[in-house]
């Protein structure tokens, strides 16, 4: 049986460099500008070697796209299918998990700009038949988007048996369709894990945000996001899946569930209605770089809406005088990497597929990476992740891609519950493993 200690270790969020009154990183604009000026152009040899090191550390395969201004690099390493040896390739479609939240937040903010949604209005104004009682008046739209609503995640209730027999549970639910209202009700009925006003990552928040979109616009929220976010961004390979199978070239997506699924199973075919506007999108690394560049340079939202999106809260409590290494905005976080740089973006994880996309604040330097083995580590008797080489290798690649030089793998940290400060570690935690069931994701 999987330890219930996993409940505290689900989705990881990254550090944030926020631009809000709640607190900003100590790095000054001048220091940031100087760091950008010193950053070298893309080092293709270094990118190639550190991406290969991620595979050598134990990841089945990965593919990535890196940009610096107009300069681009794409690469792949390892295998898309370990059984056949089919190689991984750049440009594959991939399930991007909670990176979907950035798209959903942009869609909501577009309706804020149109005056049809008020970020500080109670959710009960929009969903009175679904969000009731005290929450109807006390939980705001902003709280949904920055995960301070106090509403629990729905994943464990939606997958009963996941902690007892994860392989059977995932297999049995492979083709099950779930309506968003059902997911929302499961989350709303679950036992609270954090008080309202405290950051606590929950997919329920973004399913509710999608339902607010639907109620206000009269449109299916996934169709709205497609028309008003994906198409205006010029993304040609990003979509909500219309069937359990991906339609374009893609890798197998292998879930190990911390060793309880051995050997790992391919879940690239899966009905993603369980994730919806919280995590169902399919995309490519090139499209993700394009999306975040356009977002951060003000091409998708006006200045006020973008400022609201970048207004952040710390994802854990800090000691007096301590700066949180990660802060979460509205579907966007800012993170301090081991080499010291601050970056904006999001990560995503679904069964078998991991994705991470980060960018400098000016949108010039970017990296996006997809990989195809999830929850690859092992846990101790208390359900805490044991040291492993894959996560440090991932950070070494991403940090080096953003800072301009290869970074030796750091010691992987032991993750902490989402509502308390993580133990001091060289690596910040990632945010999106699997709500209610995660360890630091790779």
H helix or E strand, kind and range, residue 68: strand 61-68
Helix (H) or strand (E) holding 2: none
In whole angstroms, give the CA distance from residue 294 to residue 15. Answer: 21
Q: The tokens of 337 are what?
A: 């990497």
List the structure tokens of 397: 């690649």
Q: Of 252, 250, 236, give the one whose Cα is nearest residue 286.
A: 236
26-30 contact pairs (CB < 8 A, 24+) = 26/323, 27/342
In which element (H, E) is residue 60 found? none
Known catalytic residue: 403? no
From the candidates 46, 49, 70, 98, give the one annotated as an active-site residue: 98
Taking the CA atoms of residue 344, residue 348, residue 354 and residue 355 in that order, the dihedral angle to the nearest 10 degrees is -30
Whose tokens are 């051995």? That residue is 262
HSE-up of residue 208 (Cα within 13 Å, Cβ side): 36
Angle separating helix axes 390-403 and 44-56, nearest 10 degrees: 170
Helix ranges (DSSP H) in 241-389: 276-279, 285-296, 303-309
* H/E element, 79: strand 71-81
Point out the residues that are catalytic.
Answer: 98
């Amino acid at each position: 049986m999987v330890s219930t200690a996993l409940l505290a270790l689900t989705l990881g969020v990254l550090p944030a460099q926020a631009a809000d009154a709640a607190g900003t990183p100590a790095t000054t604009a001048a220091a940031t500008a100087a760091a950008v000026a010193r950053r070298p152009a893309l080092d293709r040899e270094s990118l190639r070697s550190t991406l290969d090191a991620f595979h050598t550390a134990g990841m089945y395969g990965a593919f990535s796209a890196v940009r610096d201004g107009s300069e681009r690099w794409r690469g792949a390493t390892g295998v898309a299918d370990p059984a056949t040896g089919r190689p991984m390739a750049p440009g594959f479609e991939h399930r991007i998990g909670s990176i979907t939240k950035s798209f959903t937040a942009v869609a909501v903010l577009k309706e804020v700009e149109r005056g049809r949604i008020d970020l500080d209005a109670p959710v009960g104004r929009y969903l009175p038949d679904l969000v009731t009682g005290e929450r109807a008046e006390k939980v705001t739209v902003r709280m949904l988007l920055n995960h301070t609503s106090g509403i629990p995640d729905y994943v464990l209730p939606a997958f009963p048996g996941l902690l007892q027999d994860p392989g059977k549970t995932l297999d049995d639910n492979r083709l099950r369709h779930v309506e968003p209202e059902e997911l929302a009700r499961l989350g709303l009925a679950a036992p609270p894990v954090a008080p309202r006003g405290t950051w606590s990552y929950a997919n329920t928040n973004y399913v509710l945000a999608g339902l607010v979109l639907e109620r206000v616009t009269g449109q299916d929220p996934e169709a709205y996001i497609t028309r008003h976010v994906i198409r205006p961004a010029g993304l040609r390979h990003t979509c909500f899946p219309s069937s359990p199978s991906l339609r374009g070239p893609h890798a197998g997506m292998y879930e190990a569930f911390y060793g309880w699924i051995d050997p790992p199973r391919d879940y690239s075919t899966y009905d993603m209605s369980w994730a919806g506007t919280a995590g169902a999108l399919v995309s490519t690394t090139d499209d993700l770089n394009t999306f975040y560049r356009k977002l951060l340079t003000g091409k998708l939202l006006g200045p006020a809406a973008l400022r609201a999106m970048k207004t952040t809260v710390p994802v854990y409590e800090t000691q007096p005088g301590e700066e949180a290494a990660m802060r979460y905005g509205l579907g966007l976080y800012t993170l301090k990497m081991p080499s010291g740089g601050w970056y904006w973006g999001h990560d995503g994880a679904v069964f078998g597929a991991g994705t991470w996309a980060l960018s400098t604040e000016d949108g010039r330097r970017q990296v996006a990476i997809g990989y195809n083995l999830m929850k690859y580590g092992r846990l101790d008797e208390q359900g805490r992740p044991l040291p492993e080489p894959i996560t440090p290798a991932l950070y070494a690649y991403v940090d080096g891609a953003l800072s301009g030089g290869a970074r030796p793998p750091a010691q992987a940290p032991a993750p902490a519950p989402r509502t308390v400060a993580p133990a001091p570690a060289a690596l910040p935690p990632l945010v999106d493993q699997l709500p209610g069931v995660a360890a630091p994701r790779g």
